[in-house]
Structures are given as structure tokens and as C-alpha cells.
Amino acid sequence: MESLNQNFRGFETNSMATWPTHVTDNTTHGNIIDGELSRFPRPLRTFAAIVAILIMITGLAGNLLTIVALCKYPKVRNVAAAFIISLCVADFVFCSLVLPFDSIRFVDASWADIRSLCVLVPFLRYGNVGVSLLSVAAITINRYIMIAHHGIYSKIYKKHWIAAMIIFCWLFAYVMQVPTLLGVWGKFDYDMYLETCSIVKDDHGHTSKRFLFATGFVIPCVVIVGCYAKIFWVVHSSESRMRKHATPTIKSPHTPGRDTREIKQRRSEWRITKMVLAIFLSFLVCYLPITIVKMVDVNVKYPGFHVLGYLLLYFASCVNPIIYVIMNKQYRQAYAGVIGCSRIRASLTPFGSSAPGQHHQDFGQDYSKTMVSTVSIAMNPVKNNQLEETL
């Protein structure tokens, strides 16, 4: 009898790589997940669940606060803000509909037995990743056109075109998953190696992971990197030309005040551009690790790296509001206004006032006139005097 028991235990251990970790019997399922058959040690799963829940709470509060602040205060409401709101909505949906299940699965993956949830959760997860990156790409393109092609900026960024761009980001991110949703090119199902619901091979052995990675991740990243390379080149060239062609002139009495205002506007726009770059870099830091780990460690031999990758992926849903607070004073002021901090809210005044009820500019009228005109002057030094008259 003892020999038989030893043989059975040996068979159970050797079957770890082939047995699915979820079955319909709840008792057996609990034993498998909490027992040795799980590739993820229980302390590691408990730690991951706690961190995921903290990220979920932070993400819900931060993204909701950002949405309210951008909608309420005109001072921070411009074209870029429209795409940032879209980004925040995607992150809010991720925190409210995806993270609860992903948090629970570290402790008890029994929800994966419900097939509809095992299809819906990864569909939303991958879709929101696509929306987030496409929104960042849309903001980057906005910055690029504003600086490098300012002549057509006002024609492109009208209200209806901005709405169309945002709708496209959402539709494209989810429509490209429809073949997987229908099970004709990979399928959403339980992944026995990752012990979660994800994209797995269909009955013909096909999967759409590489296509989704190339279309929804690589291509937008290449566009973003290309736009920023051009942005920094244009700004550097314009500043060099301005220094080269700068000549002492007699200023009018009103010029100093106007120059100060223009410098402030230019710095504000440049801060937004750098803030978007920080958002993109944080996106790469959060999403690349889990992508690399999944490609290198297909059989999950190192579960700790997978858990770390997932936690970084989750952190992407709450990191953007943190970046806004750190890098943009106007966003900090808007946040303070929403949460009722009267001392800071008192500074939301005069120029581009963000006080409720004050006159404000539309989404299509970005605060970019000065930065754009400065670049234009640098590129066309002969027209300096004419442009000075029009500003």
C-alpha cells in the first residue's frame, strides 16, 4: 500500500506541467490551487493579491479625480486633455472591471470556471491596454502636429475630429480582438500555465497574440518614438535659429509683459509635452516586463517574475495621475479644487482662469499659440517683425 501511495504522489508531481489548474469541482479546485500543483507559492499569491487591491483602489480614486478635474476646470482643458480623459476612462474601466477578478485569482481562481467571465475579463484587459497606448499615441501626434505642422493644427483639431479620433482608439482596440472573441483565431480561455484567463490556442493550434502585440503595441510605440524624435529635433533647431538670428531691438512698452506671458505659455505647453513623454515611458516600463517574461518563460518556470510583471501591468492603471501631480502645477491646482483645498484653489485665477463659471476655451483651441509662433519665428527669421505685430 505504501508503495502504491508513493507511485501516486510521483504521478501527481510529474503531471504538474500537463494538468489544468482549474476544474469544475470546487473542492478539487481549491486543493489544486492551494496545494503543490500551483506554480505560484501561496505567500507570493497573497502578496500579489494585496498589492493588486491597493493598486485597484488607488487607480479608481486617481483616475476618477482626474476625469472630474479635467471636466470641471477650463485651465487644464485643452486638446491633450480630451485624450487624457479617454486614457483615464480606460484605466478606470480596467480598475473596476478587470482588477477585481485578477486580484481574486491570486487567492482563488474559481471564478475562471464561469466561462462568460473567462472570456470577458481578458477581452477587457487586452482592450484597455490597446486603448491606453492608442490614446498616448494620439496625444503624442497632437504634440507633434502642434510643433512641427502648426499651419494645419487648427484645421485638424476641431471638436468633431477629436471625438472621431477618440472613438477610433476605442473601436480599433476592441474590434481587432473580435476574431479571438469568436474563437476563429485563438480564443479567450483558461491558461493552465499562467493560472488565469488569457488568450490560448484554438482547436487548430492558432493564436492571435503576436498579431495583437504587433498591431496594438509595436506599431503605436514606433509612431510615438518617431513623433518625439521629430519634436525634439524641431524644438532644438528652432532654438538654435533663434539664438543665431537674435538681434537687439527697441521694445515697445507693452512687450515685456507680453513676452513674459508668452514665455509662461510656452513653458506650459512644453511641460505637457514632457508629461506625455513620461506617460509613454511609464507605459513601457509597466508593460514590457510581462511581455518579455511571457515570451521567454512560456512554461512558467520562474513564477516570481510573472507575478512581478502582472503587478507592473496593474500599476500602469494608476501611475498616470501620479505623473500629472508630479509634473504639472495646473493639474495639481485642479485636483486641489476638486477635493476642496481652499488654499491651493485660491490660486486658480486670472490667466486662463479655472474657477467654475469662468469663460474658457474649447477643446479645439489649444493653448499652443505662443509655442507654435515661437517655433515659426525661429524657422522664418525674416518674418519676425510681421509676426510680432500679429501676436
Over residues 302-316, the pLDDT tens digits come to 889 999 999 999 999
| Residue 112 DSSP one-character state | G
Cβ pair 212, 177 in contact under 8 A: yes
Q: Report the distance separating Cα 42 and Cα 49, nearest Å.
A: 10
Mean pLDDT of the chain: 76
342: pLDDT strictly greater than 50: yes
- Of the listed ranges 85-99, 188-202, 240-254, 288-302, the least confidently predicted one is 240-254
Asked if the model's pLDDT at residue 26 lies above 60, the reply is no
Contact 265, 271 (CB under 8 A): no
Q: Give dist(CA 14, CA 41) in Å, integer.
A: 17
Stretch 100-117: mean pLDDT:
85
- Across the chain, where does the E strand assignment appear? 187-191, 196-200
Whole-number pLDDT of residue 345: 52
Average pLDDT over residues 57-79: 89
CA distance 378 to 372: 10
How far apart are the C-alpha atoms of 221 and 148, rounded to whole Å?
19
> For residue 390, is pLDDT > 80?
no
Residue 368's SS3 state is coil
Band of residue 172 on the pLDDT scale cut at 50, 70, 90: very high
DSSP state of 19: S
For cell 485660491, the residue is: 346
Q: What is the pLDDT of residue 180?
A: 94
Q: Are 135 and 79 contacting, i.e. CB atoms less than 8 angstroms apart?
A: no
- Write out pLDDT tens, residues 235-288: 778 777 767 765 554 444 545 555 666 666 666 667 778 888 898 899 889 988
Q: Identify any residues that bridge with 199 across adjacent strands, giving them in sequence order.
A: 188
Long-range contacts at 212-221 (CB < 8 A, ≥ 24 apart): 212/126, 212/130, 212/176, 212/177, 212/180, 213/291, 215/176, 216/126, 216/129, 216/130, 216/133, 216/134, 216/173, 216/176, 217/129, 217/133, 217/287, 217/291, 220/133, 220/134, 220/136, 220/137, 221/133, 221/284
Per CATH, domain 42-243+272-340 is 1.20.1070.10: yes
**Cα(98)–Cα(122) distance, rounded to whole angstroms?**
8
Predicted pLDDT at 4 = 42
Cell 503605436 belongs to residue: 220
pTM: 0.74
What one-character-per-residue DSSP string does 47-96 give? HHHHHHHHHHHHHHHHHHHHHHHHHH-GGG-SHHHHHHHHHHHHHHHIII
**Numbers of helices and strands, H then E, in the chain:** 17, 2
* The pLDDT of residue 54: 96
Give per-residue pLDDT as tens, 122-168.
Answer: 999 999 989 998 999 999 999 899 888 888 998 999 999 999 999 99
Q: Of 10-14, 75-79, 330-334, which one has max mean pLDDT?
A: 330-334
Contacts 24+ apart (CB under 8 A), 274-277: 274/327, 275/323, 275/324, 275/327, 275/328, 276/80, 276/136, 276/139, 276/140, 276/143, 277/228
> Taking Cα atoms as reference points, which of 343, 318, 323, 319 lies closest to residue 333?
343
